[in-house]
Amino acid sequence: MSNHYLIHLPHCGTEIPSEYIDDYYLDENELRANIFEYADLYTDELFFKLFESCGGVKSRYSRLFFDPERFGNDDEESMYLKYKLGWFYENAILEKKSLRSLKNKNIIRSYYDKHHAMLNQLTAKKLESFGKCSVIDAHSFSNTRYWFHDDIKLPDICVGFEPKHVDEELLERIKIEFEGYEIGINEPYQGSLVPTNYWQKDTRVKSVMIEINKKLYLEDDNITKNSNFEIIKRKLENILKI
């Protein structure tokens, strides 16, 4: 296997630096509930072998601190324009209510920029070594709908990509490995993160997003691993072994 792959784990983290906790309007229990409900819990474990083999970028921070998957320019980010949920969330997840003060937004931006700088740097190294780079954008999603979601039936697996940057071979491998599961293609989640220096500029850089419905590997509480956890983990590992 040509190891031109990079694993991106943007939402598995749950940390918020202590110096910014007082920015949040929610009490401790409510903030914790929002963090854990909206985290892609255990995706770092599900994709562990791929991450160890290929390398990549993993955020240890909660997406309620900053979300590296959103556009850095608020004017370009539809989730910000519609719901104030850009790279810097201004609203909570479980209820439509103000999440935090904006006073440290410019300071927190440095965390976002550092994350993307690292991703761009690793992509450049893959291009130098292999002449190509494919990002596996690793996610999970809750079967629960939140206040900003449409009430729709959700698939088991969602696979997303940008048309100019899709890795067709990787896409087919995912489809084969998850044969028998209900797969949504760019539905309900669309696209896949392409490192910022290369998006719509360099088609040697590919990206495919894998979204795993949490019901496949977690109990109804969305926190406890269920008996299928290892099965899903092995299927993800097999994607690069087919």
Segment 47-100, tens digit of pLDDT: 999 999 999 999 999 999 999 999 999 999 999 999 999 999 999 999 999 999
Tokens representing 134 are: 């494919």
Segment 177-202, tens digit of pLDDT: 999 999 999 999 999 999 999 999 99
2, pLDDT greater than 80: no
* pLDDT score at 22: 98
Segment 94-153, tens digit of pLDDT: 999 999 999 999 999 999 999 999 999 999 999 999 999 999 999 999 998 899 998 889
Share of the chain above pLDDT 70, in %: 99
CA angle 145–7–41, rounded 5-degree value = 35
Tokens representing 135 are: 């990002």
Alpha-carbon distance 224 to 212, whole Å?
15
Question: What is the length of the chain?
Answer: 242
* pLDDT score at 151: 87
Alpha-carbon distance 96 to 138, whole Å?
27
1, pLDDT greater than 80: no
Distance of CA 66 to the CA centre of its chain: 12
Domains with residue ranges and CATH for the chain: 5-238 (3.40.630.40)
State the virtual CA torsion across 226, 227, 232, 237 in degrees, nearest 10. 120
The pTM assigned to this predicted structure is 0.96
242, pLDDT greater than 80: no
